[in-house]
Amino acid sequence: MSTPPLFAVILAGGSGTRFWPASTRELPKQFLKLAGKRTLLAETHARIASLIPLERTLVVTAAAYAGLVQKTLKRLPPGNILAEPCARNTAAAVAWAALEIEAREPGAAHVVLPSDHVIHPAPRLRDALRAACDEACASGALVTFGVRPSYPATGYGYIEIGSALGEHQKLAIHAVQRFVEKPDRARAESFLASGRFLWNSGMFAWTTSSILSALREFAPAVHGPLSLARASERASLYPGLPSISVDHAILEKARNVRVVPVDFTWSDVGSWSAIPEVTTPDAHGNSASGGTTVITEDARGCVVYGKLGELTALIGVENMVVVRAGKCVLVCPKDRAQDVKKIVTRLENEGPSFL
C-alpha cells in the first residue's frame, strides 16, 4: 500500500488561566516555557518536525493568538494558521482543519495534537504516530493514543482497551471498549490495577476522508455549515457553530475507533502541581520552570517558576508553589494549585490590571 501525505493539526486555541500569573489571556499556557527552553507549542512542533514539515502543519488558534503562533513557528506559512474568531471547542477546529487539508491534498491522512501537552521521548511519539497512521490508512479507523497510566490519576479521562486487532511498526492496535470520564480515586486505582485502562491523551490520527465522514454523520451542525462554505468564509461561520468536543461528538459515538497503547511519558500539565512530572527535580524534589535560578535552604518538593536571570530563594518550605511573572507573585501549596482560578476570578472584579 502506498502511504498518503501526512499532515499535522495542532490545536492551539486554549485560553485557560490555571497557570496564572504566568499564563494570562494575552499569553496562555501553550506559549509558556513550562518544561524546557522552548514554549509548549514550539516543543509540540519540534517533536514531529522530522515526520511532518511546517508546510503540512496547520495550527488552529484563536484570532488573538495568531501573531504569537507565527512568532513561535516563524517558518509556518501564514495560510496554515486557522484563526478562530471565537472558541467553539475541538469538533469545529478539527472539522475546519480537515476540510482545509482535503482541499489541499485529497486523500491525505493527518494527526491532531494538542499544543500544550508534554511528551517524551519524541522518537517514541513519532513511532506511535506512524503506527496509528498506518492503521488509519489501512482500515479507515479513527485512531486514539492511550497512555499506560503510571499512577491512579483522577484528572484524566480513560480508554478501556478492547481486543487486539494487529500491529503496525511493532505497536499493537486495539479496539476501544469504552471511554470513561475522569474517575474518583478508588476507580482510578482499580483502573490502574486492571491493566486494561489507558489515559486518553487527546491525540488522534485518521485519514481526512474518515474524519469528515464521521463529522458528517455525528456532528452535522458543525460539518454542514463549514463544508458548504468557501474556505475563506469558514471563520465567519464560527459564531453560529455548536461548542462541542471531538471526543463527545465523534470518538464516543463512532464504531471504527482504535487505540494504540503507548508508554511514552505524557502529561497534559493541568496545573502548577504537574510541573514535577515534566521537569527534572533537584536532589530535594524541587522543580524549576521558566528558566529561573533557584537557591534553597532546607526546601523540599517545591515548584518554582520565573524567568531566566531571576532568582527564587526558598528557606524551610515544603511542597510550595512559588511563581513570579510580570507584576505578580503567587505562593500556594501544591495541593491548593487548583485554587489559582479563585484568585483569577476575584481579580476579574478587583484588579483586572493584574490579569
331 binds a second copy (CB under 8 A): yes
Stretch that binds a second copy, among 77-85, 124-132, 283-291, 311-319 (CB under 8 A): 311-319
Q: Which is nearer to a second copy, 1 or 315 (CB)?
A: 315
Residues 63, 163: Cα–Cα separation, whole Å: 42
Short-list 163, 144, 155, CA closest to 251: 144
**Residues in region 20-59 near a second copy by CB under 8 A:** 21
Question: Which amino acid would we find at residue 185?
Answer: R
DSSP string, 51-85: TS-GGGEEEEEEGGGHHHHHHHSTTS-GGGEEEES
Does position 178 interact with a second copy (CB under 8 A)? The reply is no
Q: Which of 147, 198, 222, 330 binds a second copy (CB under 8 A)?
A: 330
CB nearer to a second copy: pick between 12 and 303: 303
d(CA 242, CA 277): 35
Q: Could you tell me which stretch among 120-128, 147-155, 163-171, 290-298 binds a second copy (CB under 8 A)? A: 290-298
Tell me, letter by letter, the H, E, C secondary structure of 264-315.
Answer: CEEECCCCHHHHHHHCCCCCCCCEEECECEEEEECCECCEEECECCCEEEEE
Q: Give the nearest distance from C-beta 355 to a second copy in angstroms.
A: 10
CB of 21 to a second copy, least distance (A): 7
Q: How many chain residues are in contact with a second copy, going by CB under 8 A? A: 35
Query: Of 161, 174, 163, 167, nearest to 131 (Cα)?
Result: 167
Given the rule CB under 8 A, which of 52-60, 70-78, 127-135, 307-315 is the region that contacts a second copy? 307-315
Q: 2: part of which helix (H) or strand (E)?
A: none
The three grid cell numbers given for residue 127, joined into one nine-digit string: 513511532
Chain residues that interact with a second copy, rule: CB under 8 A? 21, 293, 295, 297-298, 306, 309-317, 320, 322, 324, 327-333, 336, 339-340, 342-343, 346-347, 350-351, 354
